[in-house]
Structure 1
């Protein structure tokens, strides 16, 4: 196991902080306490506090457990689902390959 601590860039830190804030707001909208969510997610209140702060040292599995408690677990399945940039790269490569095949067949 690597003992080096990962360092996030400011933009990445802001994204995680925003995710934590969204999770906290979802909990508050449901009128659930930190104790209720932590117990239902089978995590400590301290871990939930770190999740709601967007801490990077908390594993994604714990984020998923909390999202499931809030009924938002399927939201995680939407991450990178519509990979527009990746598809453009793939299509460009396919078009390039297609042109090469046509030239070699001529």
Structure 2
């Protein structure tokens, strides 16, 4: 078995808090829909323990499970603005600095991602 990731075993507190909050929100959404762990798991094709792990904020649970849970409960559209490049103020500011620096050096804007 490969060594466990340091990020998984000791994540930054902001990450741990965010994943716990997401898990709690998913639990609330599931309960409001009167769905059991088993019912939601069956819809996603996973074991019910996977749903419980996600709701408990287990960091090693795949992003696909979290997205699947959102999809199964019709909450996936709420992710439309998560990491949206148009809302990335820091990235836009840094990108603008890069473009100005290239212009100063005589190069044009880059089309690279």
TM-score bracket, shorter-length normalisation: 0.7 to 0.9
List alignment gaps of at least 5 residues for structure 1: none
Contact 1:64 1:76 in 2 (8 A): no
Q: CA RMSD in A?
A: 2.0
- Give CA-to-partner distance per residue, 1:42-95, whole Å, 9 cap, x none: 111111001001110111111111111111223344321122211110011111
TM-score for the superposition, normalised by structure 2: 0.78
Q: For residues 1-106 of structure 1, what are the structure 2 equivalents within 5 Å?
A: 2-5=2-5, 6=8, 7-81=10-84, 82-101=87-106
List alignment gaps of at least 5 residues for structure 2: 108-113
Tell me the matched-pair count. Answer: 102
- Give CA-to-partner distance per residue, 1:4-63, whole Å, 9 cap, x none: 333312221111000101111111222222221111111111110010011101111111
TM-score for the superposition, normalised by structure 1: 0.83
**In 2, Cα distance between equivalents of 1:75 and 1:45:** 24
**In 2, Cα distance between equivalents of 1:10 and 1:90:** 28
Larger radius of gyration: 1
